[in-house]
Structure 1
Amino acid sequence: MTRLALLVLLLAPLPAAAHGGATGYLTAEGAWSFPPGAMIPLYLAACLYLAGTWRLWRRAGHGRGVRHWHAACFWCGWTVLALCITSPLGLLSEQLFVAHMIEHELMVIAAAPLLVVSRPLGAFAWALPIAWRRGLGRIGRWRFLAASWRWLTSAGVATVLHAAALWAWHQPDLFAAALEREWVHWLQHASFLVTALLFWWSIIDGRARAYGPALFWLFVTILQSAFLGILLALSPRPWIPHQTNLLAGWGLTPLQDQQLAGFVMWVPGGMVYVGVALALAAAWIRHAGTEARRRQTYA
């Protein structure tokens, strides 16, 4: 309740800024942006998934190969990612640290796990000509590539890479560089998204025997993410002094803006991780029960 009251108090000044940022950013020129460097891979992924799903369902039957809920997860994740890139949230993130945090949390704890759960690689493959699919299959069996993929998607490595990206980009100098240089900003987006995809792949797509390690590394991620959020929320001074130039129109001080950003990472972000951990623990218990009954049957 104390945290909720703090959030309400910090948001209270926003209506007083109706003449400034609070009303201007939605209608500002360039609020909705469609950078080719981001839109091309987004639309390429959408076209490949759509074509692959249609071709697979036409041959195997509707809902087979790609299940309906897998398709729903893909399009939900794709939509969240597209909105993060194109919507006014991107422009707003240049003014408010909390908007920047919301943007990246949506990528990391919404878009990335939804895309992983959807298992899109099969649909992507079916969109390609059969000769290309066979060629990619042969490339995928190269020992170096297969070993590299296994290493990158091992839970420990993926967790460390994701944590490193999270902490590195919240260092003042790197964060300021992302605000000042567009290519650094896109590098920041890419590192968050790619490491999040690797992390969620290692957690969600792990086999039954990896339930224990997956839960352990998920717990590590909960702790380190919450700790960073707490540091931001409870710090007595702003970490990122560069993101203060446009705050006057929002009725927030730099410290209040940072506290809100830390709260977003700490509480809503932490709740998503905890929810996944509980779901994974429940799946582990069900699997253990099924295995126990199977052993009793064949004993």
Structure 2
Amino acid sequence: MKRVALVAGLAMLPMGWLLAALPLGMIGHMAGHMIAVAVAAPLLAFGLTGTVADPARRWPHRVTPMAMMLVELVVVWLWHLPALRTATQSFPVLVVEQFCFLSAGLLLWSSVCHAPQRVAGIGALLLTSMHMTLLGVLIGLAPRPLYPMVHHSHAGLDPLVDQQLGGVIMLMLGAASYFFGGLALLASLLRQRSMA
């Protein structure tokens, strides 16, 4: 099962990076972010759990759920500042951005997959779901384009509509991934306690 998750996570990476790089507007760019941080990262983290490449196993006192939740919060919110979003017009900056999203996601998901930290992991995933929801709502409900000069869609969408749909993608993929991840951890913790 872990090998399947690892292969699936690796297979998702090029798709996410391609969506972020193509001129698909905020829709594509946001889909690329969410694939990196909320789809590929949990698959990779699960696939690496318990191996020498598992960050939580290598650095158990640093890669903790709440610390990594804060790292991901900072990474996600910083890269959505208009100045940094504009900088991603440069391909090297886009690569750095996507690497930051993947790294932050991998560290968070690795920390919550680490067995001794299930309760903290549940809290970290639910808090991440909340901040992803808030950012998605802010982007989706903004009364004007927040990134007017960035990632114009070639699909003919109005920049505000494109941005609103990008916010919806963040809500659907991002917030849902962390929320359901937290519920899955809670279910496994309850099963574990009922068997004890």
| Mapping of residues 2-81 of structure 1, within 5 Å | 69-81=1-13
Structure showing greater relative contact order (alpha-carbon pairs closer than 8 Å, 6 or more residues apart): 2
Q: Which residue is equivalent to 2:38?
A: 109
**TM-score, structure 2 normalization:** 0.90
Q: Which residue is equivalent to 1:150?
A: 60
C-alpha separation between the residues in 2 aligned to 1:256 and 1:84?
21
C-alpha separation between the residues in 2 aligned to 1:90 and 1:211?
32
Give the AA of the match of 1:178. Answer: T
C-alpha separation between the residues in 1 aligned to 2:43 and 2:145?
33
Identity %: 28
Task: Please state if 1:183 is matched with 2:101.
Answer: no
- 4+ residue stretches of structure 1 with deviation over 4 A? none
C-alpha separation between the residues in 2 aligned to 1:214 and 1:91?
32
TM-fit CA distance, 1:159: 0.6
C-alpha separation between the residues in 2 aligned to 1:250 and 1:197?
32
C-alpha separation between the residues in 1 aligned to 2:48 and 2:173?
25
CA contact (8 A) 1:162 1:199 kept: yes
TM-fit CA distance, 1:252: 0.9
CA contact (8 A) 1:163 1:221 kept: yes
TM-fit CA distance, 1:216: 1.2
| Mapping of residues 219-238 of structure 1, within 5 Å | 219-238=126-145
Any unmatched runs of 5+ in structure 2? none
SS of aligned partner of 1:267: helix
Match of 2:28 among 99, 103, 107: 99
Q: Which residue is equivalent to 2:187?
A: 282
Q: In structure 2, do the counterparts of structure 1 residues 264 and 212 end up closer, same or farther at CA, with 3 Å as the change threshold? A: same
Task: Please state if 1:217 is matched with 2:149.
Answer: no
Q: Give the alignment's Cα RMSD to 1 decimal.
A: 1.9
**TM-score, structure 1 normalization:** 0.60
TM-fit CA distance, 1:121: 7.2
C-alpha separation between the residues in 2 aligned to 1:194 and 1:268?
18
SS of aligned partner of 1:165: helix
Q: Which residue is equivalent to 2:103?
A: 194
Q: Which residue is equivalent to 1:159?
A: 69
Q: In structure 2, do the counterparts of structure 1 residues 156 and 122 end up closer, same or farther at CA, with 3 Å as the change threshold? A: closer
C-alpha separation between the residues in 2 aligned to 1:286 and 1:112?
25
CA contact (8 A) 1:151 1:157 kept: no
TM-fit CA distance, 1:288: 1.0
Bigger-Rg structure (1/2): 1
Give the AA of the match of 1:160. Answer: L
